[in-house]
Amino acid sequence: MTESNKSRRRGDQLQNDIYAATYRLLETEGYSAINFARIAREANTSRSVVYRYWDTPFDLVFAAVQQRMQQSEEKFKILDFDEGSLRDHLVYVGQHFILESNHGPFKLFKMLFSEMINQQERERTGQMLAEATASNIKIMDNVLQRALQRGEITIFPPKATKLILFEQIRYTFMLENGWVSHQKLEEIVDHVALPAILYFSKP
């Protein structure tokens, strides 16, 4: 990239290029590869530009992962739901969540936790997990609203129940070293998530 091209990048485009370089290094080399000099080189910009936006490498990683989380939520909003049952929708959401866990920002949470140095970083990573939980709730509310309209349920379950599908997938993801089979997903839906949701709509 020429110097003139570098100078023309501004605002969102420049930040997106820096985020992309950061995420690429995280996935290929890990957190230890993240420093402002390396990021500036990978993003074809200068260290002074990177310092202008973020105070520390952790701040940059935090922002990059947050951006990917937001993108993941936007992807879900445009998913094409069929007109199947609550079970069908739970499996569908589970499949999408597994895909995001394998290729999206969620797989980097463990890395961030292992690299936290001080209380502020622990608090900020906790904030990120809280945002992920809020996103999960929005997704499940969408599914449950459809089930309510079809008469499959009569009431929304509590927050803990809404999160069961995602928490079970995360647990299996960690337990099975990043792999959740379709059979295992169906077991989670049929024996845990769906019965828990339906319990609160018993006559």
On whether both 103 and 169 belong to a single domain, the answer is: yes
Q: What CATH number is associated with residue 144?
A: 1.10.357
On whether both 12 and 47 belong to a single domain, the answer is: yes
How confident is residue 4, by pLDDT bands cut at 50, 70 and 90? very low
Residue 2 confidence (pLDDT): 46
Of 97-106, 113-122, 189-198, give the lowest mean pLDDT range.
Answer: 113-122
On whether both 97 and 51 belong to a single domain, the answer is: no
Residue range of the domain that includes 48: 1-62
Residue 62 confidence (pLDDT): 82
Q: Tell me: the pLDDT tens digits for 30-71?
A: 888 889 999 999 999 999 999 999 998 888 988 888 787 777
Q: Tell me: the pLDDT tens digits for 112-164?
A: 656 655 556 667 777 777 888 888 898 899 899 999 999 999 999 999 999 99
Average pLDDT, the chain: 83
Last residue of a domain, one of 62, 84, 101: 62
Last residue of a domain, one of 31, 62, 93: 62
Closest CA to 58 of 121, 122, 127: 121
On whether both 108 and 11 belong to a single domain, the answer is: no
Between CA 31 and CA 169 the distance in angstroms is 24
Full-model pTM: 0.70
Last residue of a domain, one of 10, 32, 62: 62
Characterize 14-42 residue by residue with b for buried, 16 or more Cβ atoms within 10 angstroms of its Cβ, and e for exposed.
bbebbbebbbebbeeeeeeebebebbbeb
Domain count, the chain: 2
Residue 70 in any domain: the answer is no
* DSSP state at residue 172: H
Residue 69 in any domain: the answer is no
On whether both 92 and 144 belong to a single domain, the answer is: yes
